[in-house]
């Protein structure tokens, strides 16, 4: 019995000892947990703070306001306005399926479309339903208080002048970044730099608290252009009317300030409205003034005359015998409408004699012709920086034969852009000084430019070009009260295998006032088809109307007092 009692007591002691060990282990574990908790939450809490931040704190971009584009007088022609993007969390929105009709109506979409979008993207954390809504539209959606529907502020470009400035300005994409025109050419200046801020968001990505600003947004710089919106409107209106009235395929016009190289107006037809993205078709929005090339026809003849005067082989009084009214060069025959016999240079230009021009060009060194044309800017891109600008086609003189020289002398065998042609007339108007063309307003000192032609040669050429407008092919380019110097051009359009004999490019280029040129302008009408197609009938009237308005708008005094108009003409309406 004593043995059994001893065994029982020993077993009890072991049981109590094991209990003490278990309790001790539990107390030790609890102490460790408490100690760790005290350490983590009191002595060193940063770990959990960091972990919480990782789950709820986000870096959010602050959109930068894109710089405005202004005309030379400070009138806004491109501005960014606040808009909102509607995005949803599909899983959350799906819980309110009975409200789909309300949301679809606010989005101006079909309820079935909305349901399909949501249900097919349930595993997507972020789905955009609409972009660039006006603030009032966004407020109506916000007022619905639907689960999973959120708004994000963005900016959209707006163009107050619409299609009047569409081609020169271009447009931006949905992210407010330049895609075409000046918007793309000056992207780095206009874009700015987005800012960054740190915020706390809940699980639905709603901002609960703004924590700190990491980097402030830097708005884009405003761009003051060389464009004069009043002259731009004049050019747009007159070009559009001409394209419509003559049932033309397209048209282009550009106005340059001879003194500074500033482009005051640049328009194309057909036009497009950059506010309407449905019109964003490359055939409509490309800027033909800078990108399209054409064979200029007789509008290039003055520059061959200038090459002749600059060579020293001819002077302003030189006479060319064009009898018997045609000239054979190689296997080609070049002819005039009539046999005009002996003509001086002014008459050759006034009557646009192909025979006279062929005689002049063939008498010159080919290098002299090429140097003159190259110095005027042909075969090169300008300094405007406009995207997609063409350099035209001017092959080196070493590749020219006699036929090509005679052909080029009346505007074929070389290709130019309307802008290049206008720049060449601007150089002549500046009496031989070639200034870089610019789409930005020139403030302060005007660029000195490079002298590429003798001033007297240019004066002689301008005097000759006046005869074209006074009693030649360009009489419809006349501006009452002002002396006008210019040249018409009518060229067959190139087609595969040769030239079309019933499709034309009608051109007029010139400077005004001739006594002290202020403006150079070129007008191109592509394929007029209502029976009239000569540059003097189709393009010259556009030049006259635009220049008449521009001269009055900028208060350029008349230089031909013998041709002062009547009071009723002086007071004709000009947009202001």
3-state secondary structure of 330: coil
**Locus of tokens 């789409």:** 439
| Maximum pairwise Cα distance, the chain | 160
Strands 263-269 and 171-172: unpaired
Backbone angles phi, psi at 6, to 5 degrees: -65, -40
**CA dist., res. 270 & res. 87, Å (int):** 37
N- to C-terminal Cα distance for the chain? 129
Closest CA to 489 of 327, 318, 397, 354: 354
For residue 108, give both structure tokens: 């101006």
**Locus of tokens 């394209």:** 243
From the number of C-beta atoms within 10 Å of its C-beta (0-12, 13-18, 19+), residue 22 rates as exposed
Residue 155 Cα distances to 63, 250, 361, angstroms: 8, 33, 57
Q: Which of 80, 226, 252, 298 is catalytic?
A: 298
Residue 538 Cα distances to 109, 118, 461, 507, angstroms: 48, 57, 24, 8
Question: In the beta sheet, which residues pair with residue 178?
Answer: 172
**CA dist., res. 421 & res. 303, Å (int):** 10
Whether the CB-CB separation of 439 and 225 falls below 8 Å is answered with yes
Q: What Rg do the C-alpha atoms of the chain give, in angstroms?
A: 37
Question: In the beta sheet, which residues pair with residue 198?
Answer: 59, 212
Residue 461 Cα distances to 83, 295, 464, 466, angstroms: 55, 21, 5, 9
**What b-and-e string marks burial along 293-308, b requiring 16 or more CB atoms within 10 Å of the CB?**
bbbbbbbbbbbbbbbb
For residue 397, give both structure tokens: 């003189």
Q: Is 298 a catalytic residue?
A: yes
Closest CA to 312 of 378, 235, 365: 365
Question: Phi-psi category of 397—alpha, beta or left, where left has phi over 0 and alpha has psi -120 to 50?
Answer: alpha
**CA dist., res. 576 & res. 566, Å (int):** 21
Whether the CB-CB separation of 252 and 292 falls below 8 Å is answered with yes
**CA dist., res. 567 & res. 564, Å (int):** 9
List residues with catalytic annotation.
298
């Amino acid at each position: 019995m004593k043995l059994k009692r001893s065994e029982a007591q020993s077993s009890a002691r072991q049981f109590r000892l094991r209990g003490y060990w278990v309790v001790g282990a539990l107390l030790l574990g609890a102490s460790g947990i408490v100690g760790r908790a005290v350490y983590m939450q009191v002595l060193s809490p940063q770990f959990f703070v960091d972990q919480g931040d990782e789950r709820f704190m986000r870096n959010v971009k602050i959109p930068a306001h894109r710089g405005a584009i202004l005309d030379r007088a400070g009138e806004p022609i491109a501005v960014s306005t606040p808009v909102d993007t509607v995005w949803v969390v599909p899983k959350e929105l799906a819980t309110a399926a009975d409200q789909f009709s309300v949301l679809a109506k606010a989005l101006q979409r079909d309820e079935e479309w909305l349901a399909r979008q949501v249900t097919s993207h349930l595993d997507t954390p972020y789905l955009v339903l609409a972009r660039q809504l006006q603030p009032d539209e966004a407020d109506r959606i916000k007022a619905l208080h639907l689960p999973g529907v959120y708004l994000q502020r963005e900016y959209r470009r707006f163009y107050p002048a619409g299609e009047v400035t569409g081609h020169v300005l271009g447009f931006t994409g949905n992210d407010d970044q330049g895609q075409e025109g000046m918007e793309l050419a000056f992207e780095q200046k206009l874009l700015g730099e987005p800012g960054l801020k740190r915020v706390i968001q809940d699980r639905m990505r709603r901002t609960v608290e703004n924590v700190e600003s990491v980097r402030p947004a830097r708005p884009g710089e405003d761009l003051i252009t060389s464009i004069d919106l009043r002259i731009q409107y004049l050019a747009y209106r007159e070009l559009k009317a001409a394209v419509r009235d003559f049932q033309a395929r397209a048209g282009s016009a550009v106005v340059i300030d001879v003194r500074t190289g500033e482009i005051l107006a640049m328009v194309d037809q057909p036009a497009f409205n950059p506010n309407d993205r449905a019109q964003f078709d490359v055939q409509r929005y490309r800027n033909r003034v800078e990108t399209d090339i054409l064979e200029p026809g007789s509008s290039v003849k003055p520059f061959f005359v200038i090459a002749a005067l600059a060579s020293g082989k001819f002077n302003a009084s030189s006479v060319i015998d064009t009898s018997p009214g045609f000239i054979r060069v190689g296997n080609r025959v070049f002819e005039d409408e009539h046999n005009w016999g002996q003509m001086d240079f002014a008459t050759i230009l006034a009557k646009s004699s192909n025979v006279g021009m062929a005689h002049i060009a063939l008498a010159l060194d080919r290098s002299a012709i090429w140097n003159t044309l190259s110095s005027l800017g042909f075969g090169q891109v300008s300094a405007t920086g406009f995207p997609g600008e063409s350099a035209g086609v001017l092959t080196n003189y070493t590749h020219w034969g006699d036929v090509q020289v005679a052909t080029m002398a009346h505007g074929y065998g070389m290709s130019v852009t309307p802008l290049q042609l206008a720049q060449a007339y601007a150089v002549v108007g500046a009496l031989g000084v070639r200034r870089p063309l610019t789409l930005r307003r020139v403030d302060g000192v005007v660029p000195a430019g490079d002298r590429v032609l003798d001033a007297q040669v240019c004066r002689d050429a301008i005097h000759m070009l006046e005869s074209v407008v006074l009693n030649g092919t360009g009489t419809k380019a006349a501006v009452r009260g002002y002396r006008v110097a210019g040249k018409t051009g009518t060229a067959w359009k190139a087609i595969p295998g040769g030239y079309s004999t019933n499709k034309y490019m009608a051109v007029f280029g010139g400077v005004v006032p001739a006594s002290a040129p202020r403006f150079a302008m070129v007008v191109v009408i592509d394929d007029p088809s209502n029976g009239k197609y000569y540059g003097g009938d189709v393009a010259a009237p556009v030049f006259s109307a635009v220049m008449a308005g521009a001269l009055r708008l900028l208060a350029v005094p008349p230089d031909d007092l013998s041709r002062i108009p009547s009071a009723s003409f002086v007071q004709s309406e000009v947009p202001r």
